[in-house]
Amino acid sequence: MKFTKQDLLTLLISLFLFASCKNPGAVGLDVDPNAAIEGTLVNSERITSQTIKENDIITNALTQHPIGYMVDPIFGKTESSLAMSVAPPSSLTQDFGTNSTLDSAVLVLNLGTQFYGDTTTSKYSVDVYQLTNRITNFKSSDVQAHNSTLLGNFNSKIFPKTPIKIFDIIAGKTDTLKTVKAQIRIPLNKAFIQNTILAQPAATFTTNAKFAEYFKGLYAEINKTSSTIAGGGVAFIDFAASNSYVQMVYKKPNTSNGIDTVSVNFPISSATVAANIKHDYTGTDVQTQLSNTTTQYNVTYLQALVGVKTKISFPDLANFQNTYGKVVVNKAELVVDVSNGSFVNPFVPAERIALYRWDIAEQPTFLPDYSSLASSGATGLFGGAYQALNNRYVFNVTSYIQGIIDKTITDYGTFLAPTSTSAYEITPSATTAGRTVIGSFGNTTNKIKLNIYYTKIN
């Protein structure tokens, strides 16, 4: 084999480079972020914590709406019902005709991306009524009045991931069987729908507002007496893009002296849905903590569905430099341990929790660490996802802690609360039902702690 001068030069350079590399196996590999941390570790900074009640929220802007009933041995009872305004379809340009007769009417509630609780044992009885008044208030605490006449009932287990088969009815054509995503389908009283909708003149359906004023809407709630609750659960209903609706199938005479079977959907918009959410903490440790806000307990509580959250503070960080001198924080992480024995199926820890703070006006705002990551589309690096292997949540809070130490940020209150897996919420969540019990700073087994890696500077 012959080598040119250029070949020999390339070979010598390559040998020199490999000889200079102390760990050839690491060539081309990313640096382990944990191995890259330098500086002194401090993890003994005091953290105070307390369980506090969430404030009410407006529920007609939710991405999915909760309905269900749970009996949690730690968090007590949780219940959510739905009030829904029904609209005429845009394709309905005239009345149903004097001789149309109803075959069936079904309230179709498409299941969303979340279900929390028991799907294997509990049977959920869902009752449907007509609202007494048009929906005008949408707060989570608002009680929606309804008539006492039962219009429909669903009584079954709920299978949120199981598609179902239904008939697709097209006028003048053969009915076809099709598969759709999981739904709760509640048959409605035929005589009621015949009289209140099919028998009405065209003027009733000219605008959504006019129909809502006339029809009021529907109300769905869990019948706790006829349900079989083994823990229970909360389903989340998808009202986006008319995915949930009242379906009516009726027979209508056509111009050729025949009869057409027609299917028409009255859509339900998420903007006209109100969720009424109730929590009953009677006899629980949650209630004890809510009634004794100055006591430091070994655990605190987080619960979605406008339940409870944990307020934490770092009372000694403002004096950090008095103890350690002027420092640069290389990395700071908040480690939130889940309390041992605080969960068992179906009440598992929340999949994700949020960490946020109050501003000077006591309004929720993002931590600077989250905001900087959001600008680059890397919010997942901020943390908050449940780590089942370590039974904890971890947040990267370097900028926030540096700001508190430098006194450029004031700790007006920092909060931990469940949030949706699809959207990072710093207001009370009603689009997930997860809950978590976390250890406090004084808990010897499951302790919330702040790891600060710092370098002292002159």
Q: How much is the pLDDT for 355? A: 98
Q: Which two tokens stand for residue 335?
A: 């480690």
Residues 6+ apart with CB under 8 A from 60: 138, 270, 271, 272, 273, 274
Coil, strand, or helix at residue 243?
Answer: coil
Element (H, E) at 240: none
What distance in Å separates the CA atoms of residue 185 and residue 53, rounded to the nearest whole number? 34
Amino acid occupying residue 416: L
Tokens 């009726």 correspond to: 250
* Residue 356 phi, psi dihedral angles, 5° rounding: -145, 180
Q: How much is the pLDDT for 171? A: 64
Q: Which two tokens stand for residue 364?
A: 């929720």
Q: How much is the pLDDT for 21? A: 39
Q: How much is the pLDDT for 52? A: 97
Q: How much is the pLDDT for 421? A: 87
Q: How much is the pLDDT for 304? A: 98
Ordered mean pLDDT values, 10 residues apiece, the chain (458 residues): 44 40 34 58 96 97 96 98 94 72 96 95 98 97 97 97 84 77 97 94 89 96 96 96 93 75 92 97 98 96 98 95 95 98 95 97 97 91 96 98 96 96 92 97 95 93
DSSP string over 59-73: -TT-SSEEEEEEEET
Residues 6+ apart with CB under 8 A from 366: 356, 357, 374, 426
What distance in Å separates the CA atoms of residue 426 and residue 366, rounded to the nearest whole number? 7
Residues 6+ apart with CB under 8 A from 240: 63, 64, 270
* Residue 198 phi, psi dihedral angles, 5° rounding: -60, -35
What distance in Å separates the CA atoms of residue 50 and residue 44, rounded to the nearest whole number? 19
What distance in Å separates the CA atoms of residue 457 and residue 147, rounded to the nearest whole number? 71
Question: Which of 150, 183, 146 has the alpha carbon at shortest distance from 166?
Answer: 183
DSSP string over 430-445: -S---EEEEE-TT-SS
Strand 414-418 and strand 308-313: the pairing is antiparallel
Domains of the chain listed by start with CATH number: 40-55+282-456 (2.60.120), 65-280 (no CATH)
By the 10 Å C-beta count (0-12 exposed, 13-18 middle, 19+ buried), 296 is classed as exposed
Q: How much is the pLDDT for 262? A: 86
